[in-house]
């Protein structure tokens, strides 16, 4: 047998297996207000260099999740993932994403939630990769959601492919100026604003461009990212894609445009988008 020397191990944080099978239930605060911190793991037993996030069974349509490292026992939370945003049909479930984010042992791993509804719930689980750094040579420390509107709403920036099928629409600005350099990023896509219980009238596909640059001078950094929605599932899949290792300088404007396979319905051809930037 060949044993590879660079072995990582996985640490499960937050999985509930007694009396249920889910992530740890995290509850939002008042509508569009962050809830209190909930512990996923305390203490974190060893350094980790990558974090897999799994979210299940949201009870609200629009959600924003924070993950933090706090003191043992809680308190003094330092956010490592802020505003992981998604919007989809209630109870449609199962988000998985791997972040090359690291952290130290000894503290607690904590989560909190904001949604459009008061006291909504979401299952949150993390899987921490620890051990050999051979596969994550440069763990990052922070993921931040850009374009997530949190005051009075919990939504992204609305993207309209426009009225011509299979033709790119106008750019929608995700953020006017990033406050930090981004080393890698993810695209998040979710249900368009104003719809709570989606019923897609047709099967939709989108091809999405992500660009940086001033208005009118956008440069596409990743073109034609495929997303889809349909009349059976009634939510956009996949809700997140990445990481894309195209660094974005601090101070950059990020914008998104899309084309759609169906444009006849002026509501459902649209979607909301955000960018999760890692540094």
Partner 1 sequence: MTLIRPNTAIYTPAGADVSASRGTLINTGSPGNNKGAWSTLIDPIPKAFHSIYLLSDNVSATAKYSIDIALGDTGGGNEKIMIADLWGNTKIPVGGWTIRLPLGGPAGKSLRVRGQSSSSNRSIGVQCILEHGSMSWMPRPFGIAETYGFDSSSTKCVTVDPGGAANTKSSSWIEIVASTGHPSLCWLLGAGLDTASTVLPATIRWAIDVAIGGAGSEKIIANNLLFASNSSTDRVDWPFIGPFYVPIPAGSRISVKAQCTSTDATYRVLNVFIMGVR
Which residue number, 47 or 238, has a Cβ lying nearer to partner 1?
A: 238
Is residue 238 involved in binding partner 1 (CB under 8 A)?
A: yes
Quick one: 76 or 164, whose CB is closer to partner 1? 164
Closest CA to 192 of 211, 206, 177: 206
Q: DSSP assignment of the chain, as one string?
A: ----S--EEEEEES-B-SSS-BSEEEE--STTS----EEEESS--S-BSEEEEEEE--SSSEEEEEEEEE-TTS-S-EEEEEEEEEE-STT---EEEEE-B-B-SSSEEEEEEEESSTT-EEEEEEEEEEE--TT-SS-B--EEEES-B-SS--B-EEE---SSTTS----EEEESS-SS-BSEEEEEEEPPTT-SS---SS-EEEEEEEEESSTT--EEEEEEEEEEE-TTT-S-B-SEEEEE---B-TT--EEEEEEES--SSTTTT-EEEEEEEE-
Span 218-237, contacts to partner 1 by CB under 8 A = 221-237
Query: Is residue 24 close enough to count as binding partner 1 by CB under 8 A?
Result: no
Residue span binding partner 1 (CB under 8 A) among the ranges 30-38, 51-59, 68-76, 111-119: 51-59
Tokens of 218: 């956008």
Per CB under 8 A, which of residues 81..140 are in contact with partner 1? 89, 91-96, 98, 100, 123, 125, 127, 129, 132, 134-138
Among 27-35, 76-84, 109-117, 258-266, the segment contacting partner 1 (CB under 8 A): 258-266
CB 152, min distance to partner 1, A: 28
Q: Is 274 in the site for partner 1 (CB under 8 A)?
A: no
Indicate the residue among 30 and 165 with the shorter CB distance to partner 1. Answer: 165
Shortest CB 78 distance to partner 1, Å: 22
Min separation Cβ 109 and partner 1, Å: 15
Report the site for partner 1 in 160-199 (rule: CB under 8 A): 165-166, 181, 183-184
Residue 73 CB, shortest distance to partner 1, in Å, is: 24
The torsion angles phi and psi of 43, rounded to 5 degrees, stand at -90, 165
Per rule CB under 8 A, count of chain residues that contact partner 1:
83
Looking at beta carbons only, is 104 or 228 nearer to partner 1? Answer: 228
259 sits near partner 1 (criterion: CB under 8 A): yes
137 or 194: CB nearest partner 1: 137
> Binding of partner 1 at residue 217 (CB under 8 A)?
no
Residue 27 buriedness (CB in 10 A; 0-12 / 13-18 / 19+): middle
We find the least distance from the C-beta atom of residue 2 to partner 1, in angstroms, to be 5
Q: How many CB atoms lie within 10 A of CB 214?
A: 11
Q: Does 9 bind partner 1 (CB under 8 A)?
A: yes
Determine the Cα–Cα distance for residues 122 and 64; give it in Å rounded to an integer: 10
Is residue 21 within the footprint of partner 1 (CB under 8 A)?
yes
User: Which residue number, 24 or 64, has a Cβ lying nearer to partner 1?
Assistant: 24
Closer residue to partner 1 in complex, CB, 21/76:
21
């Amino acid at each position: 047998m060949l044993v590879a020397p660079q072995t990582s191990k996985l640490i499960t944080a937050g999985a509930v297996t007694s009396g249920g099978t889910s992530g740890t239930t995290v509850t939002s605060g008042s509508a569009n207000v962050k809830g209190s911190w909930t512990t996923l793991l305390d203490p974190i037993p060893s350094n980790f260099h990558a974090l897999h996030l799994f979210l299940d069974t949201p009870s609200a349509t629009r959600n924003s999740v924070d993950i933090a490292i706090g003191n043992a026992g809680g308190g003094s939370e330092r956010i490592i993932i802020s505003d992981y945003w998604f919007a989809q049909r209630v109870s449609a479930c199962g988000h998985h994403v791997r972040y090359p984010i690291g952290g130290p042992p000894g503290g607690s791993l904590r989560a909190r939630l904001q949604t459009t509804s008061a006291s909504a719930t979401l299952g949150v689980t993390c899987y921490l990769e620890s051990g050999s750094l051979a596969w994550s040579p440069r763990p990052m420390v922070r993921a931040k959601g850009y374009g997530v509107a949190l005051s009075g709403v919990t939504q992204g920036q609305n993207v309209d492919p426009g009225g011509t099928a299979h033709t790119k629409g106008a750019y929608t600005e995700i953020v006017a100026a990033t406050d930090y350099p981004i080393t890698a990023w993810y695209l998040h896509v979710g249900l368009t604003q104003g719809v709570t219980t989606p019923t897609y009238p047709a099967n939709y596909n989108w091809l999405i461009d992500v660009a940086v640059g001033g208005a009118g001078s956008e440069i596409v950094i990743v073109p034609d990212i495929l997303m889809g929605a349909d009349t059976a599932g009634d939510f956009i899949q996949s809700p997140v894609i990445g990481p894309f290792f195209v660094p974005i300088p601090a101070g950059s404007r990020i914008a998104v445009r899309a084309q759609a396979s169906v444009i006849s319905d002026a509501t459902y051809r649209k979607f909301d988008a955000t960018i999760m930037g890692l540094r």
